[in-house]
Every structure is written in C-alpha cells, then in structure tokens.
Structure 1
Amino acid sequence: MLTDWINEGNIELIPYVKNWRDAVETAVRPLITTKAVEQRYLDAIFTLHEQIGPYYVLGEGIAMPHARPEEGVNKTALSLLIISGGVEFGSEENDPVYIVFALSAIDSHSHIDMIAGLSHLFCDDQKINQLKNATSKLEVLEIIRQF
C-alpha cells in the first residue's frame, strides 16, 4: 500500500512554487531530511532535467522526479507534494503539474510494489483530481490508502 511509504511527515500541500526547480526541491526535501537520499541526488535530478528535459513528468499534472541509485540513494523512499496552483515543468502535453511524487530506489527491484500502487493511482482520474484538490494531509492519506 502507498501508505507504507507516504505519511503525514512526507506530504506537503502548498499553494504555489516559483518554478519546476523549487517544486522538485520541495518534493525531495523530505527524502534528504530522513537521509533516504543525499543532496547530490537532488543535484542529479536537476542535471538530468537540464540535459534531457522533464523526463519524470509521467502524465497530465503528475511528476515523479528521480535519479539513479548510485546518485546518492541510501534507502527506498517516497514523498508527496501537492501544488494547488500548479507549476510548469516544460512538458508541453502534461503541464501544469500539480502532483509531485519524489521517489528514491536503492536498486531496480525494491520499489516494484510502490510503483504498482502508484500506477493504479495514476490510472484513476477521479482520485488524481481528488488529490489535486486535497486541502489536508489527512484527506491525502484517505485517498492514497486505497492504493
């Protein structure tokens, strides 16, 4: 279940951010704080974005910034940022982004269950819309508890 990974401590709801960099930094911050990743993990995401574009914008309004395990991952973890005003990531088809799941994976298989839960959530337009419009961490937890 996604609630094995997401809790009140790694959910943030904010009205807006200045740009995609601030969104990614805000989303990854809980992973740095809990030492799931090192600062260089965030730097790697920024570098990749600048090199190849917003590779982690997965669908309309949804991003999942991540980098390779060797870029400073200490443990598999997930955090969630909801930006009610949305932010442009430079993904023509999927901007603005409102929901940002920051993911760190220690290897290529430890996060399979997490990804399965996320993919079910991403396919449920009604739940994604509810997440986008959530106003409290408890409301967010109620929505993701189903996945």
Structure 2
Amino acid sequence: MKQIYDMLKLENIKILAGVKDWKEAIYTAVQPLVDGGYCEARYSDEIIKNTEKLGPYYVLCENVALIHGSTEQGVIKRQIAITLLKEPVKFKEDGYDVRILVTLAATDAESHMEVLQAMSELFESKESTQRVLDASNEKEIYDLFVGTV
C-alpha cells in the first residue's frame, strides 16, 4: 500500500455499532486524532461547517467517506483514523450509505491526493471493500489498510 498508511496507528481504528446522524459520525471519526494530538478539537466543527456549506464532498462512493478539512482548520500533525460502522449513516438524504469513515489530518495538499490514490487501490474491488466491512476487529482493518493481508 502507499507510504501514507505508515501513518496509520492501530489505536486510531474503531469499530462501532452506529451513530445517530452525520454530525455524530464526524465527531466520532475525528476523535481518535484529537485524542492523539494530531488535530485540534475544532477540526470536527470545521468539517461540519464545510459540509453545511459545500455538501458532503468527502463521500467517495457507497460505504466510503474520506473525512477531512483543510490544513489550517486545526491540523497539527499528519495522521489517519478509521471508523467502521456496523449500521450505515447517510450524509445527505438521497446520498450513499456510508460505513467506512477514513479521517485524514493532512499538513499539506499532497497527502490528500496520496490518500485518495491509496484508497482507490484498496476499494477498487467489491471484494476488498467487503473485507473491510466484514472485519471483526481493529487489527484486521489495520492489516487490510497497510497491505499485510
């Protein structure tokens, strides 16, 4: 997998039953990065403001969202967090069901493109996406993302 996944830490991967709405999804997905000191708490609020203004620009396809804001919206250090929801959330009424939330704290514009490329490789087949959706623990998700499986 791409070098960006060297940034992914096992403690930043969570599997949850579900969330009540898209705003809670963002807070939940960003929280590991706040807890680890990779971004400020306001990063969630900034992403929500962006979403209210621009729509859910980070929903890439069915089941997958790349949650992110701009570097000046509270990013401290580069890092990724992954949240798998057992029950999907919609970021807009007629939008995709989303269960895999990849949260990016990027300190530069290149990281964004690097993650998009790496994610497109991981999610290019329904089989690899399904493996993430079916993961039973955080280590399994970690291994899928860093390419050790």
Please give the TM-score of this superposition, normalised by the length of structure 2.
0.88
2:122 maps to which residue? 121
1:144 maps to which residue? 145
> Matches of 1:63 and 1:30 in 2, distance apart?
16
2:43 maps to which residue? 41
* Aligned CA distance change for structure 1 residues 127 and 55 (closer, same or farther; 3 Å): same
Cα contact 2:7–2:78 (8 A) shared by 1: no
1:134 maps to which residue? 135
Cα contact 1:36–1:77 (8 A) shared by 2: yes
The sequence identity of aligned pairs, in percent, is 32
1:111 is displaced (CA, Å) by 5.0
Unaligned 5+ runs, structure 2:
none
State the SS of the aligned residue for 1:64: strand
1:4 maps to which residue? 6
Q: How big is each residue's C-alpha offset from its partner over 1:16-65, in whole Å with a ceiling of 9 and x where there is no partner? A: 11111111111100111111111221111000111121111011111111
Cα contact 2:85–2:99 (8 A) shared by 1: yes
Cα contact 1:5–1:79 (8 A) shared by 2: no
1:30 aligns with 2:32: yes
Runs of 4+ in 1 over 3 A off after TM superposition: 110-115
Root-mean-square deviation (CA), in Å? 1.8
> Matches of 1:143 and 1:109 in 2, distance apart?
23
Cα contact 2:6–2:146 (8 A) shared by 1: no
> Matches of 2:139 and 2:133 in 1, distance apart?
14
Unaligned 5+ runs, structure 1:
none
Matched to 2:33, the amino acid is L
